[in-house]
Amino acid sequence: MSRRLAARPRLNRPQWALSIGAALAVIGFVGAAQWNSSIARQEFITSAQRVLISEAQQAQSQQESLRSQIEEAEAQVRGFQEQAEGSATLSTRLSEQVATARLATGLEAVRGPGAVVEIADSQRPVPADENASNYIVLVDDLRDLITALWASGAEAITVAGGGGAGGPGERLVSTTSIYGAGSAILINTTLLSPPYRIEAIGPDGLHDRFLAHPSYITRVAKRIDAYGLQFASEPRDELTLPAFIGNTRLRWGAPVAEAN
Amino acid sequence: MAARIAQLSLFGVAIIIGLLLVGQLRSQARPIELSSLTAQELSVLVETLSARNVELADGLADLIEQIRDYEISQARGQSEVVLTAEDLERVRAFGGLLGIEGQGLRLEVEGSFDPTAINDLINELRNAGADAIAIDDIRITARSVAVLGTDAIEIDGQPIGRTFQIRAIGSPEGLRAAIERPGGILALLQQSVDARFSTTEERALEIPPTRRDLVPQAASPVE
């Protein structure tokens, strides 16, 4: 006895044709928008800018290479110092002192409780009569947030661009500058782009103190409200921050020997 | 058969829409938009990046020399104590735990400053390549920021008066050029906070160590 399978309902031809048609219209719209935006960007770049952009990109890739060589060399030096541990009392004590000094000065990766702060450009449309730069994260915003965190008791801070997706972040040390060139922000030697993610390790209550600190409230919090800069922060039980990678050599000065 | 083709077509179309939308959203995000910078901003950026690369290259050269010294010391069967002691001094001086002497710039400052203005000035000196900075006798470390205290501006819990002195170790000419350039930090502060500055290039400056204990309490080293 044969049994016929029930006939499957056939898709109504005009219905799926309409769906495809609508989808193709969306593709056309999005494709055109994308094409237009890339054309618009290209149109305003002069040849001088193109040369400078290429030089900036070369400098960035050279920097990446130098930083990775420095990281390797630092590890080698630490290796020599660790080998010395246990070999003699003085060596051991010195190695411990180097480790403590590195910890205190941002040259060692650290972990502990703290706070995470993220800030990104506004997604509000910029009104015709307003300055577009009000709607993007400015170097002053980052400086204010970092000042508020240090002043609230942070012991270690990193700043990452791209919301942290681009890498572990730049550890802030005694020589760190936070520098704005147009809409680009340079921290240590690295160019970062929004969203910016700031991670800070510090004692209990760091996050609450940060949100109540005048360096946060006075300017950046007002800009967040006024222009819709995207902002989020939260306390964390455990964060791990990388060590600073860069030059730690004094170029113009020499240490003053301690009077014992 | 027709239904299968329709499904496959819709699937393909959905993928294309997805890819295009992601592309569009990404182009709306703000990556490092070098193309949005003016030629002047780009020129400053290239100059800054190049200067930082020179610093990195110098630092790397010193590290390579340090490694060579350790290797020679090991090959000769000598103790590495002297080398490690030098490294300890270097690390402590870098972070502000040890005093530094050298050439640099001295600024005598007078004005009605707010904490942000002082922090901006410190940032500008760091950006110009200062090895170390002190305001009066307060060594500026990574954690030192000017804040509004009870009666005055404070850095590391110590008050700053209306008149104060900044010392920065670095290239005297470079530091001076960076802060005195037209439209630079001194010009801005002279307008915004009614400040007066007197700068002197110095061949011998000394900057004290910090009085703060910088060993972290909440943070511990990653093993």
pLDDT digits (tens, 9 = 90+) for B1-44: 666 776 777 677 667 766 665 555 444 444 556 777 888 888 88
pLDDT tier at B206 (50, 70, 90 boundaries)?
Answer: very high
Average predicted confidence (pLDDT) for chain A: 85
pLDDT tier at A165 (50, 70, 90 boundaries)?
Answer: low
Q: What are the structure tokens assigned to B77, written together?
A: 């069967």
Does residue A4 surpass a pLDDT of 50? no
Q: Helix B115-127 and helix A139-151: axis angle, to 10°? A: 110
**In angstroms, what is the C-alpha Rg of chain B?**
26
The DSSP result for B127-173, as a single string, is HTT-SEEEETTEE--TT--EEE-SSSEEETTEEE-SEEEEEEES-HH
Which residue of chain A is at minimal alpha-carbon distance from B219? A112
Residues with Cβ within 8 Å of residue B59, at least 6 apart in sequence: A70, A246, A247, A248, A249
Tell me which DSSP letter residue B113 carries. Answer: -
Determine which of A159, A249, A258, A260 to mutate to test the interface with B (most B C-beta atoms within 10 Å).
Answer: A249
Collapsed DSSP state (helix, strand, coil) of residue A239: strand
Does residue A39 surpass a pLDDT of 90? no
CB contact under 8 A, A53 and B34: yes
pLDDT tier at A3 (50, 70, 90 boundaries)?
Answer: very low
Mean pLDDT confidence for B106-121: 93
Predicted local distance difference test score (pLDDT) of residue B124: 95
How far apart, in whole angstroms, are the C-alpha atoms of residue B66 and residue A72?
13
pLDDT tier at A178 (50, 70, 90 boundaries)?
Answer: very high
Q: Which residue has the higher pLDDT, A189 or A1?
A: A189
The answer to whether A212 contacts chain B (CB < 8 Å) is no
Q: Which residue has the higher pLDDT, A151 or B45?
A: A151
Predicted local distance difference test score (pLDDT) of residue A2: 41
Mean pLDDT confidence for A128-154: 95
pLDDT digits (tens, 9 = 90+) for B77-97: 777 888 899 999 999 999 999
Does residue A76 surpass a pLDDT of 60? yes
User: How do beta strands A196-201 and A156-160 pair?
Assistant: antiparallel
How far apart, in whole angstroms, are the C-alpha atoms of residue B30 and residue A148?
25
How far apart, in whole angstroms, are the C-alpha atoms of residue B131 and residue B147?
23
HEC profile for B8-33?
HHHHHHHHHHHHHHHHHHHHHCCCCC
Q: Which residue has the higher pLDDT, A170 or A193?
A: A170
Predicted local distance difference test score (pLDDT) of residue A41: 46
> By C-alpha distance, which of B185, B220, B119 is closest to A145?
B119
pLDDT digits (tens, 9 = 90+) for B136-164: 999 999 999 999 988 899 999 999 999 99
Interfacial B residues in 11-50 facing A (CB < 8 Å): 13-14, 16-17, 20-21, 23-24, 27, 29-39, 41-46, 48-50
Contacts of B71-78 with CB under 8 Å at 24 or more apart are B74/A80
> By C-alpha distance, which of A111, A213, A137 is closest to B218?
A111
pLDDT tier at A259 (50, 70, 90 boundaries)?
Answer: low
Establish how many alpha carbons lie within 13 A of residue B37's alpha carbon, considering only the half-sphere containing its beta carbon. 26
Q: What are the structure tokens assigned to A60, written together?
A: 């960035």
Mean pLDDT confidence for A57-65: 90
Residue that has been written with the tokens 């002279």 in this structure: B190
Predicted local distance difference test score (pLDDT) of residue A107: 96
Predicted local distance difference test score (pLDDT) of residue A33: 61
Average predicted confidence (pLDDT) for chain B: 88
Per the CB < 8 A criterion, the answer to whether A126 and A132 are in contact is yes
Q: What is the pTM of this model?
A: 0.81
> How many CB atoms are closer than 10 A to CB B153?
21
Q: Give chain B positions within 8 Å (CB) of A20.
A: 6, 9-10, 13
The answer to whether B94 contacts chain A (CB < 8 Å) is yes
pLDDT digits (tens, 9 = 90+) for A84-124: 655 567 888 888 999 999 999 999 999 999 999 999 999 99
Q: Give chain B positions within 8 Å (CB) of A250.
A: 90, 93-94, 100, 102, 131-132, 169
Q: Which residue has the higher pLDDT, B125 or A164?
A: B125
The answer to ipTM > 0.85 is: no
- Per the DSSP assignment, residues forming a β-bridge with A201 are A114, A156
pLDDT tier at A175 (50, 70, 90 boundaries)?
Answer: very high
Does residue A232 surpass a pLDDT of 80? yes
> By C-alpha distance, which of B11, B17, B41 is closest to A179?
B41
Q: Is the peptide bond before B208 cis (omega within 30 degrees of 0)?
A: no
Per the CB < 8 A criterion, the answer to whether B214 and A104 are in contact is yes
Which residue of chain A is at minimal alpha-carbon distance from B47? A56
Highest mean pLDDT among A67-81, A154-168, B161-175: B161-175
Q: Give chain A positions within 8 Å (CB) of B102.
A: 250, 252-254
Predicted local distance difference test score (pLDDT) of residue B25: 47
Does residue A9 surpass a pLDDT of 60? no
Residue from the list B13, B64, B120 with its beta carbon closest to the beta carbon of A73: B64
Predicted local distance difference test score (pLDDT) of residue B109: 94
Per the CB < 8 A criterion, the answer to whether B93 and A250 are in contact is yes
Residue from the list A88, A172, A182 with its beta carbon closest to the beta carbon of B142: A172
What b/e string do you get for B176-213 counting C-beta neighbours within 10 Å, with b at 16 or more? bebbeeeeebbeebeeeeebebebeebeebbbbbbebe
